[in-house]
Amino acid sequence: MGVEPVKRAYKYRFYPTPEQAEQLARTFGCVRYVYNRALAERSRAWTQEQRRISYAESDKMLTAWKREPGTLWLTEPSKGPLQAALRNLQAAYDKFWRKQTGYPQFKKKGKSKDSATYFSNCFTYRNGEIKLAKQVDPLNIRWSRPLPEGVQPSQVTVSRDSAGRYHISILVEDMVTEHPPTEAVLGVDAGITSLYTLSTGEKISNPRYEKLDRARLAKAQRALAKKQKGSQNRAKARLKVARIHARINDRRRDHLHKLSTRLVRENQVIAIEDLSVRNMVRNRKLARAISDASWSQFRTMLEYKADWYGRSVVAVDRFYPSSKTCSACGRINDSMPLHVREWVCRCGVVHDRDVNAAKSICAAGLAVLACGDGVRPPRS
């Protein structure tokens, strides 16, 4: 077992004073303005001059904007969050150029989560208290779990979600001890009836958190639709809808964290399907259920936790016919309609559709791990 330093973020809720809330609101507004203006300048430079603007050039633009008579208010917040906005925009462009995401979009007030990142020179951490730049009092943080002993935060990100809740994410360098090696390997088949089916035969039930609160959510959305735009009652109704969404997201994320932690702790190798969720949600009949399952978020959790604790996560080609392949003899059936939940192979083995798929994924994952990619069978 090795001990490796990793970057970890610890997220807590905090309750700002009225003065802190007002100062943070101005900071969020400035961050949004700088991001949008820099995005507009970079888009204009490309469309009119076919020229890319670098981060260093956009940073010089920010200095010039602070001196303009109409935007002198950009000097009110700390410089750190404004520079962080430019770095986030640069990262968005890098992902776009690598074809990982779409083109960066403008940030709209009230439509997305407000956030501001403070670097180490823009906040202080003493005696278990954090004080942001240009604020007098430390933040009233609810320390739901302690930070690792002796760590020093390198940056913090404060945010306000659509439900009006404030959170702070503290980035530290922590020493993580790898889990003891084990010979257990696991295949995971994603589904909707059962959230995940494991190659061991275990089926993880789907909590369907969105479905549980669907009636409350629909009632709140109907009430919101009847309120006059711009009124205080509409703001209250919008907040009620946002709180229901926040409750759904929190419960779903908690469930996925617990499940991913258990699987990483118990298994050395975890094989999963390389699902294209973006294309799958285009199915009108299944889009809501697929979004509620949050397969992409679960895969992200598995991958970074496996990296921390010395495990391996292998993604099997999304076109690999795991459901049609017999996990006992390897024979591939010509077809396997969705309504067939149990079938018998010519070799005599009776298969549960999902368990067999998980076993096939496990075998394919081990093949990928040993020989590299290329487990998709040749097309006839």
Sign of the alpha-carbon dihedral angle for 243, 244, 249, 255: positive
What Rg do the C-alpha atoms of the chain give, in angstroms? 25
Closest CA to 220 of 244, 252, 247: 244
Among candidate residues 114, 210, 273, 303, the one labeled active-site is 273
Is 189 a residue of the active site? yes
pLDDT in tens, the chain (380 residues): 667 788 999 999 999 999 999 999 999 999 999 999 999 999 999 999 989 999 999 999 999 999 999 999 999 999 999 999 999 999 999 999 998 889 999 998 877 789 999 999 999 999 889 999 999 999 999 999 999 888 999 999 999 999 999 999 999 998 888 899 999 999 999 998 899 999 999 999 999 999 999 999 999 999 999 999 989 999 999 999 999 999 999 999 999 999 999 999 999 999 999 888 888 888 888 899 989 999 999 999 999 999 999 999 999 988 888 888 898 888 888 888 888 888 888 888 888 889 999 999 999 998 888 876 654 444 43
* Residues, the chain: 380
Number of neighbours of residue 331 by Cβ within 10 angstroms:
12
d(CA 303, CA 297) in angstroms, rounded, equals: 10
**SS3 assignment, position 134:** coil
What's the one-letter identity of residue 106?
A: F
Q: What is the DSSP string of 82-118?
A: HHHHHHHHHHHHHHHHTTSS-------TTTS-EEEEE
Among candidate residues 114, 210, 292, 354, the one labeled active-site is 354
Asked if 158 and 166 count as a contact pair (C-beta separation under 8 A), the reply is yes
**DSSP H helices in the chain:** 18-49, 55-67, 79-97, 209-212, 214-225, 232-266, 277-280, 287-293, 295-308, 353-371
Among candidate residues 189, 210, 292, 303, the one labeled active-site is 189
d(CA 269, CA 370) in angstroms, rounded, equals: 12
Asked if 16 and 168 count as a contact pair (C-beta separation under 8 A), the reply is no
Predicted TM-score (pTM) of this structure: 0.86
Is 273 a residue of the active site? yes
